[in-house]
Amino acid sequence: MTFTRSIKIAPSILSADFANFGQEIQAIEQQGADWVHVDVMDGHFVPNLTFGPPAVKAFRPHVKTVMDVHLMISPVDAYIDAYADAGADILTAHLEAGPHIHRTLQAIRGAGMKAGLALNPGTPAEAVTHLLDLTDLICVMTVNPGFGGQKFIDMTAKIRALRSMIGDRPVHIEIDGGVTPDTAPLVAAAGADVLVAGSAVFKGGSVTDPAPYGANIRAIRDAASAAAP
């Protein structure tokens, strides 16, 4: 993974056809997805239950770009090796998921993955001050985590603060929640470079008619790129 600040679109396969994950992943990549975002939920840290390590491992052979695995689980540390074995390129843990996030980030990097740090809407940017040098990605939640299709929460002030704190460090700012062609320019202008989108990418298409995926990805990318600094 070569670091760049160009706009990257990371479709969330939580919005894909659950009976056709392999084909859906191939379809979104062929239609221009930069990364593939996998939302892992435990029914405890967030009010939903999704994929475990065996599912993520099954997705891996189909992902030719970057597999971006977002853990909305608590605790995290006991599962880091399992997601490394499953093939995650980036493993993101929530700052709110446990008392020893510094150790969690060290362990993720120690297992050979890029370390992501996610912040819920109520968590301030300043919470990452002493963690930036252990972090490859900061995921700013623009919805309360747990399920797709929620309304966008404006976190542009937090994004701008993070962008200033990051400076010239090679740390991505990822946005997760409510990303559409309307909201993408707001977060891109504030300094975000990775946009996670679920329903906004998958709406109107299917594995037998993937062209709408490409049109949706281009619409989000074009809107964000036009506003990016």
Give the catalytic positions in this structure: 39, 176
Q: In 3D, which of 96, 91, 35 has the Cα closest to residue 66?
A: 35
Quote the CA–CA distance of 110 and 115 in Å, as a whole number. Answer: 9
- What are the two backbone dihedrals, phi and then psi, of residue 88, each rounded to the nearest 5 degrees? -60, 135
Quote the CA–CA distance of 38 and 40 in Å, as a whole number. Answer: 6
Q: In 3D, which of 109, 97, 100, 101 has the Cα closest to residue 40?
A: 97
Supply angle C-alpha 155, 159, 161, rounded to 5: 120
